Amino acid sequence: MRLADLSEQSQVSLATIKYYLREGLLAPGRRINATQAEYDDSHLRRLRLVRAMIQVGRMPVATVREVLARVDDGSLGRTLRLGAALWALPRAAEPEPDDPDVAAARTEVDRMLTGLGWSDTAEIGWLSPVYRELVASVASLNRLGYPLDAADLTPYALQMEQTAIHDLDRMERLDGAMEQVESAVASAVLFEPVLLGLRRLAQEQQAARRFGLAD
């Protein structure tokens, strides 16, 4: 497809697509003459991912470029490529390792990981921004008087493990490692609000069943 076709199918303006090309967020098309290039479905898929990261994820262009560099890193296997891409996504403020609340939260998170047998995650530990974000969140709850210990965290982790299995099952239906990693990044940006909405609906249902509508 030509650039105009790519714009029409993606509903992204020509000016924006050209900007993404200049910034390296979108690979150049296959040159067919001195002034024109041809684009394919991979460009359309990448363009939708970039729009999701910028418009929904509110990510700056520099961060999008960093995440996509991990997605495109062919030197990594699928697992490492996916992990590197997800680690590059924006996170909350970094926790202070010497903060007593952070240290206490870290102890409980580590106890949970050991109990679940999530040895790979436990070994990576503080190197993982996802781990640090979880520790910081637990520490914040502790400070506010809503403590979470390993026993509290474990049932949630088990539910999320089943969610992760379903995520990967859906991802593997796609063709090619690149498309699979792209879909995982898109899901991380777009799908978490769906999970939050489902959790809140489930809470409403369970509260009504447990306490009745009049309580």
* Domain parsing of the chain, residue ranges: 100-211
pLDDT tens-digit series, residues 11-29? 889 999 999 999 999 988 8
Residue 88 has what pLDDT?
A: 75
Closest-CA residue to 92 (of 51, 142, 140, 158):
140
Spatial distance between the Cα atoms of 173 and 153, rounded to a whole number of angstroms: 31
Q: Please determine, for residue 114, whether its predicted confidence score (pLDDT) is greater than 70.
A: yes
Looking at residue 128, its pLDDT comes to: 84
Q: What is the pTM of this model?
A: 0.75
Pairing of strands 30-31, 37-38: antiparallel
Mean pLDDT (whole number) for 85-102: 81
The pLDDT tens digits for 185-205 are 888 777 888 888 999 999 999
Q: What is the pLDDT of residues 149-168, one digit of tens each?
A: 999 999 999 999 999 898 88
Secondary structure (DSSP) of 16-61: HHHHHHHTTSSPPPEE-SSS-EE--HHHHHHHHHHHIIIIIS---H
How far apart CA 26 and CA 42 sit, in angstroms, is: 10
Average pLDDT, the chain: 87
pLDDT of residue 215: 62
Q: How far apart are the C-alpha atoms of 23 and 65, rounded to whole Å?
A: 8
Measured distance CA(16)–CA(63) in Å, rounded: 17
In this prediction, residues 123-136 reach a mean pLDDT of 86
